Structure 1
């Protein structure tokens, strides 16, 4: 007799589901174990606070006792992380069930409380894996959003305490596109970059920010006998508007801005519904002159954004330097107003 194939599939699904639940349960118990160990170490350390070196002595003693039996989970470094873990999260109610120990190892390395709160909120809201969280930290997501926003606004959007009111609250400049896997020393056509983005669409949407959904590639628009093609079209449900993206593999020009402005005008007049907000255009470019951007666009411009992109993940210092440079430009511009 033949067995119904669906039974095999059903059993495989049950096994896979059980294995996933078991893995999550193990992760959860591991996190709780490390928190409890950290609590014991911290509280004992406080009892011996009159001795400056007591904490170091305590951790080394615990490691010497348990590491031969329990392995690297009781190394001095691991025990120090447990203590730091408890210090940063002294209330178990603040622990997130969807975070594993790798998530927390990344979070406890962040010294600034506001920055850590941002990544906790974003990781929880977007269900980031530990690898996704690591990428966002390494690419300085928090600092890039701060370039044109204040800390409290960035935190409020991350925690879903308010909806973004302006594109700059969720759209980053620069964008980091290292996940495309393109070699930094090679030259590319705009079509090559566009194809790579479509291939890695999920990662690109993660880099774009919250609320983006893909609509079209090479969207054709017809204007009285002339055809034009928009590289990429997205929709953002938080901003409630279409987002048009044009890709330039060279330095941005005022002609590029004019072309994108025409696309935005078209969408606002012929595609946008009455309940939707005005369309946004993003020019992705390798370089830009901010003065040219400012002069080319109206003073009250809120629809066109020029954003530089990196095809590889720069060093942390390179990104920090670039962020500082852009923030200084903003400060200088405000000082002239």
Structure 2
């Protein structure tokens, strides 16, 4: 019986070189994919905005007509393509076209080979053409859609143009752009006597500014555009606690009707995520639950208050009571459950919910027990892995 020869191990230096080359290739490919998706998405949204504006201009009583048009488009497009085409989103696309009109886009493309054909198409009679080469139009939008959304919040046209130019020149990420706008960089540099130094310092990125290809592709805008399922980089502990909490509340009785988890909402150009959303049949109100893997802070209460205001305006149906907020905190040193009462205008309901909802102490104990069980499983899995090596 012949012995099997042991495969030769690759040369360490040679393997490191080929491994490094492959990693660099994949990272470059993902960055290119993220840029391509963003450019196509942005050009599509600009074209949608253009068609909305041109359609409005052909109608009468533009203000009322425009609102009706956006509402109907939002309903029909969401039914056909999924989320991402709310009235607010369509209004944003309309504003995007108005801030970057056809003349400006044609000027941007004037130095590119695609300019003549695109310019001729965009200059055609409104609504005559049914298709356009989005890949060529995308050349006019080198920044990601998230950056243009942030720029739309800058009302001063000169400031907006300045931030757009500097974002392109310095290669700012969306986070860098957001930081510079929030710090009023345009206004500060206008008053500065040493503008060159300020511009040079603005080129430097800070830790946390860089966005990985994975983060770029998981941007909520991209997920909506591609109609992909939401993906969040949640920790295993938080995910398990949320799932267990949903099961725990449903086991308490049939008063809790589960409506969803990781429910997303957008305010201006910021995204938020509600961990759990229930409807309580006896109380006849929504129950908004937010889980914090850490200690309770005043910021948590302020954020919940914002959630309740949003839920009351957008999710509450006629005949229902105002929503209730429940903040659950789970950490090594602090386990507490806190009901947020700011949204409760009905005093009778305030008294009723104390008996209808689970006891705060019981919820805190359940969270603590679940957290300890999960950590014990994790430690056990780690021991099994070491033993199998």
Bin of the TM-score, shorter chain as denominator length: 0.3 to 0.5
Flag the structure with larger Rg: 2
TM-score, normalised on structure 2? 0.38
Tell me which of the two structures has the higher relative contact order, counting C-alpha pairs closer than 8 angstroms and 6 or more residues apart. Answer: 1
TM-score, normalised on structure 1? 0.44
